Amino acid sequence: MSAQGEHLSNSDLAKIFHTIADLLEIKGENIYKVLAYRRAADSLANLGGDAYEVWQAGELNQIPGVGKAIAEKLDELFRTGRLGFYEKVKTEVPVSLVDLLQVPDVGPKKAALFWGKAGVTSLPELEAAAREGKLRGLPGIGEKSEAKILAGIEALKRRSTRTPLGVAWPAAQELAAWLRNLPGVKAAEVAGSLRRMRSTVGDIDLVAAAADPKPVMEAFAHHSKVGQVLASGEAKTSVELKNTLRVQLWVHPPEQWGTVLQYATGSKEHSVHLRELAQDKKLSLSDHSIIQPDGQEVFYSEEAEVYAAIGLPWIPPEMREDRGEIQAALAGKLPRLIERGDLIAELHSHSTWSDGHSSIQAMAEAARERSLKVIAITDHSVSLGVARGLKIEDLQRQRVEIDAVQAKLGDSIRILQGTESEILADGSLDYPDEILAKLDVVIASLHSSLRQPRAVITERLLRAMRNPHVDIVGHPTGRLLPDREGADLDMDSVLKAAAETGIALEINAFPERLDLDDIYARRAAEMGIPLSINTDAHQPDHLDLVQFGVGVARRAWITPDQVINAWPTKRLLDWLKHRTKG
């Protein structure tokens, strides 16, 4: 832990509180105490501003999920850089046990079991015990369970070390904004796979335009968040930030801005294809210019000019993966990709009725502030106990509150009552059909038993999709980036069922999910399957995460007409009404 509290970032704080929650749950602590730390961790991880500045302003209690006890612990962290309660818990439960929770199907209870009955305190010890057959025979653990644990550990070893989009994006945007304010900098943008909105990235690429690159790169190398300079040349500097993210900055004169930005954005395959087209025209495309057949070097200050010189319209960065975008551009058939401003509805959000951090009114007002016309409150269903799922009688009381908030806000926004219904082990849903029929929106989601065999979990999802009251399949594979692989679904069967039933598939914009991914989202759209881009918001500022879902959709070549929450309000509501009637 940092020796100075002010050096603790939001992500550092969130990690501390998540770890406390994990250790307490392994210890067998009261679940409500555990959930309090989890809610605080989630709020800190997704807080729009700097928690340290909030502390300085004396407003910690304004952070959703932060009550008096949590606020006192944050105060201690910021004052001293340490937390006595955290240190105490680590003496009671080995902190290395938290690593076991990365293994699919190993939850806190199993981690406690392996610790208490087999002396396992770390991931290597768990693997060794499983390979030696020492886990079978423990309560609830047989040979199959032991084999699944080994398979899960192997999956962890295959996990990418790339950085999730949701972590890299805000860091890159902050650096780009800082660069734009430096003397002599005319422009600065994010490039690379981050600009193409890939779900994970290797390094962060930044491009700046300045007549004199040297002072810009020197200032960048001495940025307060830079841990070490890895390499530095005339036009490029590579650094590692204190949080271990690697960043490379390209600085070129403004007249070369367009060519450099195109080159630094990639992808490699897209750029190779562009070079081949340029060669067909006797042109030589480099990272900063185009050389004409007569040897003249031409610079381009705008990216669109680079494409025009090769005979193409400008191609959106998200499409630049050499998946047919250049052929479509040559044929004049580039689609009009969906944009954030096209979305008029949020159809997947949570309130304090389940595991959300804000009231229905606060969520509705936040949606209205973002120019949305419709918001669906889709709190969890009863079986997802960890998320405080609603019982049937809770739904009835929630409807009363929604009606009251609707009356208060009038026609400024339409509030729908829905549910994110847990898909049970046999594919049935939490609520009976007569209850589902009364709801405006029904989302069916997988949250548990994601490691079931392909045939079993696919049939489980298909059965839920056949329920005529289900409107949307939420985050279909259930993946969590970078920690949890999605379910091993037969996606061909899922897509076929969606096409047959007319159900919508969700592109979940929460950066840890981004599920469906762009590959399956494009296939779905090509099959005529409606899509829904939702944030899965648990507090008002989560609504801004929609940009990541839009990025996935743009990578999938999705147009507004293919997304139900980009439809006009009447069309959307009519579609939902038709779905509900089954």
Between CA 210 and CA 513 the distance in angstroms is 37
Please compute Rg for the chain using Cα positions. Answer: 25
From residue 136, alpha-carbon distances to 102, 117, 120 in Å are 20, 11, 14
CA distance 513 to 282: 45
Q: How far apart are CA 390 and CA 430, in angstroms?
A: 10
Alpha helices in 410-511 (DSSP H): 433-436, 454-466, 491-501
Predicted pLDDT at 2: 44
Is 26:111 a contact under the CB 8 Å cutoff?
yes
**Residue 389 · residue 401 · CB < 8 Å:** no
Q: What beta strand segments (E) does 382-434 contain?
A: 414-422
297-298/290-291 β-pairing: antiparallel
How far apart are alpha carbons 562 and 243 in whole angstroms? Answer: 39
Q: Which residue type is seen at 527?
A: M
The separation between CA 348 and the C-alpha centre of its own chain, rounded to angstroms, equals 14
Q: To which H or E segment does residue 168 belong?
A: helix 165-180
DSSP 80-95: HS--HHHHHHHHHS-G
Contacts by residues 146-152 (CB-CB < 8 Å, ≥ 24 positions apart): 148/104, 148/105, 148/451, 149/103, 149/105, 149/106, 152/103, 152/104, 152/105, 152/106, 152/451
Cis peptide before 160 (omega within 30 of 0): no
pLDDT at residue 10, rounded to an integer: 81
260-286 pLDDT per residue, tens: 999 999 999 999 999 999 999 999 999
The residue type found at 359 is: S
Would you give the end-to-end CA distance of the chain in angstroms?
55
In the chain, domain spans: 5-158, 164-330, 340-581
pLDDT confidence of residue 356? 92
Pairing of strands 441-445, 472-474: parallel
Alpha helices in 410-517 (DSSP H): 433-436, 454-466, 491-501
What CATH number does the domain located at 5-158 have? 1.10.150.110
Each residue's pLDDT tens digit in the chain (582 positions)? Answer: 444 434 677 878 988 999 999 999 999 998 888 888 988 888 887 676 778 888 988 989 888 778 899 999 999 999 998 899 999 999 999 999 999 988 877 889 999 999 999 999 999 999 999 999 999 889 989 888 888 899 888 877 766 578 899 989 999 999 999 999 999 999 999 999 999 999 999 899 999 999 999 999 999 999 999 988 998 888 899 999 888 889 999 999 999 999 999 999 999 999 999 999 999 999 999 988 999 999 999 999 999 999 999 999 999 999 999 999 999 999 999 999 999 999 999 999 999 999 999 999 999 999 999 999 999 999 999 887 666 889 999 999 999 999 999 999 999 999 999 999 999 999 999 899 999 999 999 999 999 888 888 999 999 999 999 999 999 999 999 998 877 788 999 999 999 999 999 999 999 999 999 999 999 999 999 999 999 999 999 999 999 999 999 999 999 999 999 999 999 999 999 999 987 544
In 173-303, the DSSP E strands lie at: 185-191, 200-201, 204-210, 226-232, 236-241, 246-252, 284-285, 290-291, 297-298
Cis peptide before 531 (omega within 30 of 0): no
Reference 482, options 170, 161, 196, 172; nearest CA is 161
Q: Tell if the pTM clears 0.85, that is, is over it.
A: no
Sheet hosting strand 226-232, strand order edge to edge? 185-191, 204-210, 246-252, 236-241, 226-232
Q: Which amino acid is at 176?
A: A
* Per-state percent for the chain, helix, strand, coil, to nearest 5: 50, 15, 35
Q: Please check whether residue 453 is in contact with residue 488, taking contact to mean a CB–CB distance below 8 angstroms.
A: yes
Phi, psi (degrees; rounded to nearest 5) at 25: -70, -40
CATH of 164-330, one of 3.40.50.1220, 3.30.460.10, 2.60.300.12, 2.60.40.10: 3.30.460.10
Superfamily of domain 340-581: Metal-dependent hydrolases (3.20.20.140)
Token pair 């809770």 is found at 394
Give residue-wise pLDDT tens across range 126-173: 999 999 999 988 998 988 888 889 988 887 776 657 889 998 999 999
For residues 502-539, one letter each, b for 16 or more C-beta atoms within 10 angstroms of the residue's C-beta and e for the rest, the string is ebbbbbbbbbbbbbbbbebbbebbeeebbbbbbbbbbb
